[in-house]
Amino acid sequence: MDKFTVCPRCGTTIEEFRRTGLLGCAECYRVFRDEILSAVLRVQGKTRHEGDIPAVKEEKYSFMLEQQHLKEEIERAMRERRYAEAEELKQRLKESNRTRREEEER
């Protein structure tokens, strides 16, 4: 993936993603899929080799992946007019956000 890869929807660049680890929209998930996966592998690799890397970093990535996946699923469901399913996915997304916040407050 070259460093000029950019999300056509929100304009997030691969450079920005590498720097912040944040995706701008569900489309980013598709555009930067390879980069996300390699980032996850990198984090997991580090965790294995250097025991002092906090596991929370790995958690953050899997949380991010889950969120992006859900958003992507919601969009697909909406596009295919499966509104009940989209509603259910939105609930899961909300649930996931709430769980995350509670974990951070602890």
Which residues of this chain interact with Zn ion, rule CB under 5 A? Answer: 7, 9-10, 12, 24-25, 27-28
32 closest CA partner among 48, 11, 52: 11
Question: CA-CA distance, 93 to 70, in Å (whole number)?
Answer: 6
37 or 55: whose CB is closer to Zn ion?
Answer: 37
C-beta of 58: minimal distance to Zn ion in Å?
23
Nearest to 86 by CA among 101, 74, 71: 74
Q: Which is nearer to Zn ion, 25 or 53 (CB)?
A: 25
Residue 93 and residue 67 in contact, taking contact as beta carbons nearer than 8 Å:
yes
> Shortest approach of Zn ion to residue 29 CB, angstroms?
8
Nearer to Zn ion among residue 25 and residue 65 (C-beta): 25
From the CB of 105, what's the least distance to Zn ion, in Å?
28
Which pair of structure tokens corresponds to residue 20?
């912040």
